[in-house]
Amino acid sequence: MGALGKTVVLLLVAATAVVCTPFVNDLAPGQEWPARNSVRQPNFGESQTEAVQEEFSTDDPTSEITDDAVIIGKAIQPKTDIQRVDYSGAQIWKVSTEKSGSRAVISRLRRRNLISTWGGNQYSIDILVKSDFVRNVTRVFERENIQYEVVILDLQKNINDENPPLDENELGLQDRRGHRMTWKQYHRLEDIHGFLDYLAKTYPSIATVTTIGKSHEGRDLKVIRLSDGKPTNKAVFIDGGIHAREWISPATVTYFINQFAENFDVESDDIKNIDWYFLPVVNPDGYEYTHTVDRLWRKNRKPYLGTRQCTGTDLNRNFGYRWGGKGSSSYPCSEIFRGTRAFSEPETQAINNFVTKSAKNFTAYITYHSYGQYLLYPWGYDNALPPDYKDLDALGKSMAEAISQAGGSKYQVGSSSGLLYPAAGGSDDWAKSQGIKYTFTIELNDTGRYGFVLPTTHIEPVARENLAGLRVLANQLKK
């Protein structure tokens, strides 16, 4: 194994002295900001972990072995001891799967831990080739006559260039605005949560922030509700950041929040006749981890303490409709580990409780992911369609048309199992099973040029296009 596979990550244990920070909007414009990272972080040393000893099969055909952080000890480590996962020399290839047998070759390479997989569809799969195995994998593909294209030559370089610091001008604007969100940068969780709190305090008649639960490591799961409170309003639930590394998702969802909250009075009736519920970061532990340790972390951060000590459940395989089926793994080290039971994770549990116990009548659920540019509707668990799939397909196509007209990106529309591959335990299937009619998983840009590591210059164009798509959905709901 190379630098990647062998990377041992020390678990950060929060320092005991935590500075208590005032809400950012308690500060008058121009006043000093609280120092970055001074917001209280969960105490990792105290996080409770369920000891789960459930059996899992290692010969599961869907299992794949992936890099995993190994937690060593519970000693308190100063923050500087965080060792970032280094992707120098790792490459992203787009591999054609037209030749029969090519998927099996890719699966084998993945099981041997030479590669991991990113996006994919019926025609190709994007793979991450670990730095030490570039030659090895090249030889395998040449021998098997499998076509591929190198898309990213040095992944670490892309990661380094992805999220540059704001320039002086932007920093000045940020100080006057009352919150730190910019959509010119991918922000840390404290900026996102500070932004939600700022809106609730600035626009109390339409914005309310509720913490619907806590992540495994104790971070808040914050939902902002934007509504004028009319009893006839329909309700829509939108989330982002289920998968930690898909940074464009929380950026896009917070862009919508900003547009609606800052312009509520002049917004269209379509928008004002909806109670909007936004959970921009479903997986805050994973999200922070992608900023501090491993840019490409996907799952949550709850350790599995069986014979295999691996960390993280794929939250989008943990929802409770047809949980445990195709496209999910019982192997805790897999990137698509489904957890030990449906809703075994606090993050998925919180959403389930909030949506099912709320008196609100949700008529739409949209979950934003990346990447691939797809508008997907149920079912995901298998090649099957809900009875009203034609309504979803028609709306999806109108949304895709609006996205294309607004900015030019082409989004494909279809059922997730049909267009991509079956994957049971997804949040969209669960939402549909709860009777929420318009349920979509949206895979944001791009189609693989940058993949998960989408430069910040793409945030505003992607978010703006998708706002046009969301307006089409809002319009449909009044019918």
Touching Zn ion, residues 322-381 (CB under 5 A): 369
Q: Which residues are marked as active site?
A: 443
Binding mask 146-185 vs Zn ion (x if CB under 5 A, - otherwise)? ----------------------------------------
Nearest residue (CB) to Zn ion, 198 versus 430: 430
Nearer to Zn ion, 77 or 249 (CB): 249
Compute φ and ψ for 183, nearest 5 degrees.
60, 15
User: Between residue 83 and residue 112, which ones bind Zn ion under the rule CB under 5 A?
Assistant: none
Minimum Å gap between C-beta 242 and Zn ion is 6
Closest separation in Å from C-beta 134 to Zn ion: 26
Site residue total, Zn ion (CB under 5 A): 3
Measure CA 16 to chain center. 30
- 89 vs 396, beta carbon nearer Zn ion: 396
Distances (CA, A) of 242 to 218, 351, 413, 445, 476: 16, 11, 21, 16, 26
Give helix 248-262 / helix 189-202 axis angle, nearest 10°. 10
Task: Classify residue 78 as exposed, middle or buried by CB count within 10 Å of its CB (0-12, 13-18, 19+).
Answer: exposed
Reduced to 3 states (helix: H, G, I; strand: E, B; else coil), residue 41 is coil
Least Å from the CB of residue 298 to Zn ion: 7
- Taking CA atoms, 408 is separated from 252, 254, 343, 441, 464, in Å, by 17, 21, 38, 20, 11
- The helix or strand, by DSSP H or E, that contains position 110, with its residue range, turns out to be helix 102-111
Q: Which is nearer to Zn ion, 182 or 318 (CB)?
A: 318
Least distance CB 450 / Zn ion (angstroms): 15
Q: Cβ distance 371 to 119 under 8 Å?
A: yes
Shortest reach from residue 315's CB to Zn ion, in Å: 9
DSSP summary character for residue 97: -
| 317 touching Zn ion, by CB under 5 A | no
Q: Which residue lies nearer to Zn ion by CB, 246 or 335?
A: 246
* Cα gap 21→353, rounded to integer Å: 30
Of residues 231-250, which lie at the interface with Zn ion (CB under 5 A)? 243, 246
Using CB under 5 A, list all residues that contact Zn ion. Answer: 243, 246, 369
